[in-house]
Chain A
Amino acid sequence: MEIMFQNQEKTTLTASKYNLLSGKLRLRVLEMYNKANAGHIGCSLSCLDLMIAALIHHRKENEVFLLSKGHAAAALYACLNEIGEISDEEIETFYKNGTVLPAHPAPNKIKGIPFATGSLGHGLPIGTGICQANKILQNNEFTYVLMSDGETNEGTTWEAAHYAVSKKLDNLIVIIDRNGLQGFGSTNEILGVSADVQKWQSLGFEVVETDGHDIDNLIVTIENFKNQNNGLPKVIIANTVKGKGVSYMENKMEWHYLPMKPEQYQMAVSDVNERYFI
């Protein structure tokens, strides 16, 4: 099924079309990981819908979107491919020697990827710096930072969060992909839930907790954020499902790292087709 999305049509698209796009991008991500025989599938699938809302729908030309959880690079590449910033030929080189699309995003190879991420805890501080610059320039640009819930273990999260609040950076939109699982356990068991509404509210953020797979709602939430010049940085705590769209991967920690066997890939594809296109 071929769906064309043009920038100018963005605002008129219906939720159902975005759901179809969600299915389409899932298939692309699975295909990329299958060809690369690589892992980080579960964490790419958990944040795809967040990226459709923030990167594909909302981000404007001069604005920056940072995938701080760089290990979900395939999801980022699939989205940038969808909006024409990465070519189909480049997608074919994912994970290969000399590629501009490595397992974790490399800086300055692709227009939409100015910084290296994947060493966790870099996206929020960098995004905060971009917001600080845009405040000085008074250009009304927003910066989007997508983090994982496990990533909030990193101390720089809290350094940057305090800075953003103290400098009133209301042009910062953080999205935390709260799938509840990190590398080797549940976030709750490992260090407690730091992607917590009250915690972020107490810091001074404007917080919305929402279903991270309800694209329509995510789009509206971000739109509301952009209309509130209230001096508060914004965060969406997005409840997501690790491995979303592939039943046997969902909420399974091992799909953080595992690559698929050929028969598992076929199962995953049929599952996505069944759930998103019928």
Chain B
Amino acid sequence: MAVREGRSFVGLEARKPSASVRMLDYVMDFCFMVEDRLEELGMSRTELAERLGKKPSSVTRVLSGSANITLQTIAEYDAALDLGIILSRNESRMERPSLTVTATARKDETDVERSYTSTEG
């Protein structure tokens, strides 16, 4: 048996996330959100790049977390993919804020409600 129980990092759950941690959450949530939407639409990264009027390498850098994602970037991707992104504020300030996709924001779907909040589960 080469696997044994380690520590419990319970303190982490109570810690208020720093700006860097929040940024990590935003970036990864955004990347996952775009990938999910591409899958739904059956669209490749190259096609997305064409729709955005950018090089495929630019999309790759964004979706691999390598690029500096700005609000401009988010707005452009939202417009291209109809992501329906809203910035919402958590009631609990200890919980991490999220970028949320809502069903009403999409024209072609009525039954999809997906949250990329990291606090669930």
B is bound to A? no
Interface residues of A (CB under 8 A from B): none
